[in-house]
Amino acid sequence: MAEMFYEDDADLAVLAGKKVAVIGYGSQGHAHALNLRDSGVDVVVGLREGSSSKAKAEDQGLAVLPVGEAVAAADVVVILAPDQAQRDLYANEIAPNLKDGATLLFAHGFNIRFGYIEAPEGVDIVMVAPKGPGHTVRREYEAGRGVPVIVAVEQDASGKAWDTALAYAKGVGGLRAGGIKTTFTEETETDLFGEQAVLCGGASQLVQYGFETLTEAGYQPEIAYFEVLHELKLIVDLMIEGGIAKQRWSVSDTAEYGDYVSGPRVIDPSVKENMKAVLADIQNGAFAKRFIDDQDAGGPEFKALREKGETHPIEVTGRDLRKMYAWTQDVDNDYVEGSAGR
Ligand SMILES: NC(=O)C1=CN([C@@H]2O[C@H](COP(=O)(O)OP(=O)(O)OC[C@H]3O[C@@H](n4cnc5c(N)ncnc54)[C@H](OP(=O)(O)O)[C@@H]3O)[C@@H](O)[C@H]2O)C=CC1
Ligand SMILES: CC[C@](O)(C(C)=O)C(=O)O
Ligand SMILES: [Mg+2]
Ligand SMILES: [Mg+2]
Known binding-site residue numbers for Mg(2+): 191, 195, 227, 231
State whether 139 and 271 are in the same domain: no
In a domain, 113, yes or no: yes
State whether 163 and 305 are in the same domain: no
Contacts of residue 223, defined as CB under 8 A and 6 or more positions apart, other chains included, come to 214
pLDDT in tens, 194-244: 999 999 999 999 999 999 999 999 999 999 999 999 999 999 999 999 999
State whether 156 and 245 are in the same domain: no
Known binding-site residue numbers for NADP(+): 25-28, 48, 51, 53, 134
Give the CATH number, domain containing residue 124: 3.40.50.720
Is pLDDT above 80 for 131?
A: yes
State whether 162 and 219 are in the same domain: no
CB-count exposure of residue 144 (10 Å: 0-12, 13-18, 19+): exposed
108 in catalytic set: yes
Task: List ligand 1's pocket residues with C-beta within 6 A.
Answer: 24-29, 47-48, 51-53, 80-83, 85, 89, 107-108, 129-130, 133-134
Q: Which of 30, 108, 230, 312 is catalytic?
A: 108
Atom of ligand 1 nearest to the CA of 51: 38
pLDDT in tens, 247-270: 999 999 999 999 999 999 999 999
In a domain, 190, yes or no: no
Per-residue pLDDT band for 326 (boundaries 50, 70, 90) equals: low
320 CA → ligand 3 middle, Å: 29
Report the number of distinct structural domains present in the chain. 2
In a domain, 329, yes or no: no
In a domain, 193, yes or no: no
In a domain, 128, yes or no: yes
Q: Could you say which of 154, 182, 210 is where a domain stops?
A: 182
pLDDT in tens, 269-312: 999 999 999 999 999 999 999 999 999 999 999 999 999 999 99
User: Domain containing 98: what range?
Assistant: 4-182
Mean of the per-residue pLDDT values of the chain: 95
In a domain, 337, yes or no: no
In a domain, 159, yes or no: yes
State whether 28 and 127 are in the same domain: yes
In a domain, 216, yes or no: yes
- ipTM higher than the 0.90 cut: yes
State whether 248 and 109 are in the same domain: no
Percent of the chain with pLDDT over 70: 95
What is the spatial distance between Cα 92 and Cα 186, in angstroms, rounded to a whole number? 28
Helices (H), the chain: 27-38, 54-59, 67-72, 83-89, 110-113, 134-142, 161-171, 174-177, 184-193, 201-216, 221-225, 231-250, 253-266, 269-283, 286-296, 300-310, 313-321
Rounded to two decimals, the pTM is 0.94
State whether 86 and 219 are in the same domain: no
Atom of ligand 2 nearest to the CA of 200: 1
The residue whose C-alpha atom lies closest to atom 5 belonging to ligand 1 is 28
